[in-house]
Chain A
Amino acid sequence: MSEIWAQHALDVGDGAELHAGMLRLWVGRGVHDWTLGWRYAPEGRDPVMAVVLSADEPALDDEVQRCSYAFPHSQGPLVLAPMLADRPVIVQPMHELTVAPRSLVQLYVTTSLWVGVRAEGGEQLLRELPLVQPKQTWFGPSTIEGEWCYAGRLPLMRLAEGISSRPHRATTPLLIRNRSTEPLAVVRARLPVPRLSLFRSPDGGFWTSRVSVVRREGSDQVEVEVLPRAPDEAGQAVLVAPARDQGSDNVVSRALGSMFSHSLIP
């Protein structure tokens, strides 16, 4: 089994099949085009990570989505690059968590990776696909006000060891510091994934930038800081994908309700 996140030499007429997370993706190279076909395995199956070169085109059925990209002359190699989601992810602890006044808590959460399919030697991004089909969610104070996000599948954990190492997910350390005299309830939290960079540790695991959330004293504002370097837990990690949203500042001040929110009454 070869490394997925790498360059794959494909001759004209050849194809490669990627099994990553719940995604099964086939990429074929023609003389003048690249063709993609993909589908998602049903939930509940164990995620796998494998790439098979010289694979035949999968049989078409209703669940396979396909698209082609035309070029004057297709050129290899094919590059499969790991990426983070394109929207914030809403994460929640296993049970409601309250951060006591003037205290802090270090949490960890994993979010699903995406794959960027690049052709023409990595110059042309053909498509971005999530390795696990994301579920959409609404995050905000009401059904009128809010923003589109993805729902996180796994809960926030207290220790990094609690996070089972999965090759299709990236771990984010989240530090919550409550400087207020009021307790801070964490029911649902907004993880600003588009602002995070993706790193790979020497053991092959994926980590993102550390996120620090500080609630100031006597204020309903929080400061959300994204540290640009790899977290210490990742060891000598290397940057594999810079943040999608690089325009914003490292520290952003937000209303408390737009960072932590309760469930909406349906």
Chain B
Amino acid sequence: MDTILQTLDSWSHAERAASWLRAGAVLVFGLLLARILAAMVGRFAARFWAVDNVVLFRRAVFWLVAGLVAASVLRQLGFDLGVLLGAAGILTVAIGFASQTSASNLISGLFLALERSFQTGDAITVGGTTGEVLSIDLLSVKLRTFDNRYVRVPNETIVKSDFVNFTRFAIRRADIMVGVAYKEDIARVRQVLFALAERHTKVLEEPKPAVYVLGFGASGVDLQFSCWASATDFFQTRSDLYEEVKRCFDAEGIEIPFPHVSLYTGADTQPMPVRIEGTEGSRGQS
């Protein structure tokens, strides 16, 4: 009787060892398969999608396969998956209530990935923050502002608010707002501005620069001088243009008006009285 019991016990041990071995093999080969499958799918998706979306998709495939492998391993070890799934369902409800924000960010992240409105390296403005996109992750987008701060923007914020992508297109228009005195000849001003645009190497030949008269301002005629430049050179080009406009107008004697205020001192039109108090040496002495 003892011999039979010992034999049964040894069989039971052997069976348990075998199931552990099977589980180990499923784990190793399963994870290997998950990696290979994710890499293959990633390589295929890279033909159609941007890098950020490919990374997200590859990760999703990996974790999906890894989940199936984990379930298979637990089954090999003799766990009842029905009980586990029931517990997981209750846990999911509890976690769902506790992590509504994360879930919202996660879903927003998926929408952003599908929408492909920006990618890593683009310059965007969102919620009042402007910066270069460092990474697009499941829960948030990481930005580097131009004064070198690290900003984390939740995906939900981006989905809910307006955002601007400055580098989506290769070229941008710089609008230089400039005013000239009423006495100036607009045709001559236009000529000076076009000559400036022609000389500037960063201003594109096409689309052609344009000068628009916006209206009659309080101090002078308001003009808009529009030039196209590369999106990457945009800020420097706009700054150069403002500087050049000032330099050219000074050289050509074109007056840039500024607000004038006339003070009325009463019924009589006598000049404003000016009183000099003390001399240079006596200033500050009372």
Contact = CB atoms under 8 A, between A and B. Distances in A.
Interface of A: 43, 90, 133-139, 143-144, 146, 148, 151, 188, 263-266
Contacts of A134: 201
Given A143-B171, A266-B173, A266-B226, A137 B205 contact: yes
Interface in B201-224: 201-202, 204-210
B199 A151 contact: no
Nearest to A42: B199
Contact of B228 (A133, A138, A148, A151): A138
Interface string B149-186: 00000000000000000000111010000000000000
B207 A265 contact: yes
Interface of B: 169-171, 173, 199, 201-202, 204-210, 226, 228, 230
Given A138-B171, A138-B228, A143-B169, A264 B199 contact: no
B41 to A, nearest CB: 30
A264 B208 CA distance: 7
A266 B201 contact: no
Nearest to A144: B169
B208 A136 contact: no
A151 B204 CA distance: 9
Contacts of A266: 173, 207-210, 226, 228
Given A138-B171, A188-B206, 6 more contacts: A133-B201, A137-B204, A138-B228, A148-B230, A266-B207, A266-B209
A151 B199 CA distance: 13
A191 to B, nearest CB: 14
Pairs of residues from A and B, 8 with the lowest C-beta to C-beta distance, nearest first:
A151-B205, A137-B205, A264-B207, A266-B210, A266-B207, A137-B206, A135-B205, A138-B171
13 contacts: A90-B206, A136-B204, A136-B205, A137-B205, A138-B170, A138-B171, A138-B206, A139-B206, A148-B170, A264-B206, A264-B208, A266-B208, A266-B210
Chain B facing A: main interface SS? loop
A136 B230 contact: yes
Contacts of A143: 169, 171, 207, 228
Given A136-B201, A136-B230, A138-B228, A263 B206 contact: yes
Nearest to B233: A136
Contacts of B201: 133-136
A229 to B, nearest CB: 32
A266 B202 CA distance: 16
Nearest to B206: A137
B109 to A, nearest CB: 26
A58 B207 CA distance: 37
B237 to A, nearest CB: 11
Contacts of A265: 207
B35 to A, nearest CB: 36
A13 B47 CA distance: 53
A134 B201 CA distance: 7
A50 to B, nearest CB: 24
Nearest to A40: B201
Contacts of A264: 206-208
B118 to A, nearest CB: 15
B207 A263 contact: yes
B169 A138 contact: no
A35 to B, nearest CB: 24
A143 B205 CA distance: 13
B116 to A, nearest CB: 15
Nearest to B227: A266
B202 A138 contact: no
A144 to B, nearest CB: 5
A90 B210 CA distance: 20
Contacts of B199: 43
